[in-house]
Structure 1
Amino acid sequence: MVMDVKGKTKDNPKARMDIKEYCRRKELWLQELQNGKIVKHKASFSFTLDEKREIIQWVKNLRMPEGYASNLGKRADMNKGKLIDLCSGKLLESSLDRMEENILVTTTKLEKIFPCGFFDVMEHLPIHLVQEACLEGPVQTRWMYPFERRNRPSRNDEGNSDPLFPPISIFNQNGRGSKKRGKRNFTDMEIQSAVTHVLLNFPEIQSYVNLFVNT
């Protein structure tokens, strides 16, 4: 809303109509001209194009410590005055308590500035994020994507393996297919050979082998 990005800002005509109904800020009301057109004046909290370019230029010249953030200069669009393709980062556990308190204070201050249409579920969500992070830990240990991959095929699935998730590398030896095909079950000797191969070649098993030998 502050950057007034077209298609993403919440300072839209519906939000201005809510302001007229619930608030007294007449400078933000929609104005109807004599020809019947509706005019939405620029809000005082929205930056002009020159102001947005100054902010983007500052972000573009910003230098972070190694490994702290990606190159923000590649995410800065000077012509349109906006940032693109931003991603999430890391949080320190020691700063979560302070962050939870700051989120409540900041949300209260924003309620005094922005119209009612600004506050949807996305603005309410940060209030619960700190508690969720403290209780459940890193997102990669609890997100649904690994399970969804096994519950249903990928979009536009053509039967090939997913190139982003290649098969186990130790079993990718090249071979030549046979014209004749058939089905059969493994014999007891073949099953025992496969189990022995796993026990002798996987490093995860070595600690148990050492424990057996030492005892």
Structure 2
Amino acid sequence: MFTLRAAVMWTVNDFPAYAMVSGWSTKGYMACPVCKEDVTSGWHAGKVCYLGHRRWLPWDHEWREKDKEFDGNTERRLRPREWSGDEILEQLNRLDFAPFGKTVSRTRPSTHLNWTHKPMFFELPYWSKLKLRHNLDVMHVEKNVFDTLVGTILDIEGKTKDTIKARLDLERMGIRRGLWMNRDSDKARRDLAFFSMKPNDKKEFLKFVSSVKFPDGYASNIARCVNVDGGKFTGLKSHDCHVFMQRLLPVGILHLLPEDVVKPIMLLSRFFSQLTAKTLRRTDMFQLRHDIVQVLCKFEMIFPPAFFTSMIHVMVHLPEEALLAGPVNYRWMYPIERLLGEVKKSVELWRQTLRDEVIIIVAQK
């Protein structure tokens, strides 16, 4: 006989569930649960986007002085402040939240910022002392970053962030004149951007992907997800995107896009490859913290503001979490998703068995 004691180290969940367990809404102008109200956001191409990654650069960095290459403004601000658990708890204790219930109005006062409720985790005496309470799930972040990036450089309809609204947004901001709509008399035309592949290059890239073979157990058959004639991918799973981002993408685009576009994408690929390694070194994490800021700033000079969704922004926080909590392999949702998959299969098998038994009983009666 012995007394078993357990402690909650942290939570692992996707971004919508992050909002439920943390109490901070992951939607709107303050969607980043790490930067909180200090995040840089704006309305671009019909949605909220998150820019301002020059704030993480050194104070004397030359990119801080550039305006037209970024959002039209110079950058004088420091990086967003870091909130401790005790400060968050003190802030939550000052707020009055409506009780739970479907009939209760959910309109939040401006003083509540993006807080929706006080998480019950703070009832644990040690919860406010933890450095990391909720993980940004790298699996879903990598999947969403891949979809946004590949959809844009392949100019896939419905997936690309380089839309007509994005081009008009650039005109409104008065930046990157080369990407403005091409107007002829009474018509406007969206020309192919320099960061997107031409039709022939796109076919070459898709044929390359469909021809790649992987060792057994390394990855699924990604070739089955390639539609060369349609110029798009279908049915890519999270692990497919994981392998694609780190292994295929930097090789496939090497000679199909301008060098200024290829370099930051290759740096991004290396970032995820090193971040998800089984062994992490603190020196490597400090380097990744520097690299991801460089990547995001270069992306701001290449892609329109509509490209910068919340998933693109939260990459800047991933090295910090790795420094606090160690390898990503113990903090992402691959094992959780596999377990849930087995549970769903068991439930479905049980339901089918129960259905067959009911049918037999009814037939006997």
TM-score range, shorter chain: 0.5 to 0.7
SS of match in other structure, 1:165 = helix
What is the RMSD of the two structures over their aligned residues, measured on CA atoms?
A: 4.1
SS of match in other structure, 1:38 = strand
- Residue matched to 1:110: 299
Q: Kindly indicate whether the alpha-carbon contact (under 8 Å) linking 2:171 and 2:177 is maintained by their aligned counterparts in 1.
A: yes
More displaced 10-residue stretch of structure 1: 89-98 or 66-75:
89-98
Task: Name which of 211, 214, 234 aligns with 1:61.
Answer: 211
CA deviation after TM superposition for structure 1 residue 21, in Å: 2.9
SS of match in other structure, 1:32 = strand
Equivalent-residue separation in structure 2 for 1:3 and 1:16 (angstroms): 17
Whether 1:138 aligns to 2:288 is: no
The residue type paired with residue 17 of structure 1 is L
More displaced 10-residue stretch of structure 1: 18-27 or 125-134:
125-134
Equivalent-residue separation in structure 2 for 1:121 and 1:82 (angstroms): 24
Superposed counterparts of 1:72-87, under 5 Å? 72-87=222-237
Question: Is there any run of 5+ residues in structure 1 with no aligned partner, and where?
Answer: 150-160, 179-215
Equivalent-residue separation in structure 1 for 2:215 and 2:294 (angstroms): 29
Count the aligned residue pairs.
164
The residue type paired with residue 93 of structure 1 is K
Superposed counterparts of 1:86-165, under 5 Å? 86-89=236-239, 91-94=276-279, 100-101=288-289, 102-129=291-318, 131=321, 134=328, 137-139=331-333, 165=348
CA deviation after TM superposition for structure 1 residue 33, in Å: 2.4
Could you say which structure has the larger radius of gyration? 1
CA deviation after TM superposition for structure 1 residue 45, in Å: 1.1
Equivalent-residue separation in structure 2 for 1:67 and 1:23 (angstroms): 50
Equivalent-residue separation in structure 2 for 1:60 and 1:51 (angstroms): 14
Distance 1:115 1:140, change over 3 A: closer
Equivalent-residue separation in structure 2 for 1:22 and 1:10 (angstroms): 17
Distance 1:173 1:3, change over 3 A: closer
Equivalent-residue separation in structure 2 for 1:83 and 1:75 (angstroms): 5
Among the aligned pairs, what percent are the same residue?
Answer: 27
Question: Is there any run of 5+ residues in structure 2 with no aligned partner, and where?
Answer: 1-151, 243-275
- Residue matched to 2:69: none
- Residue matched to 2:182: 31
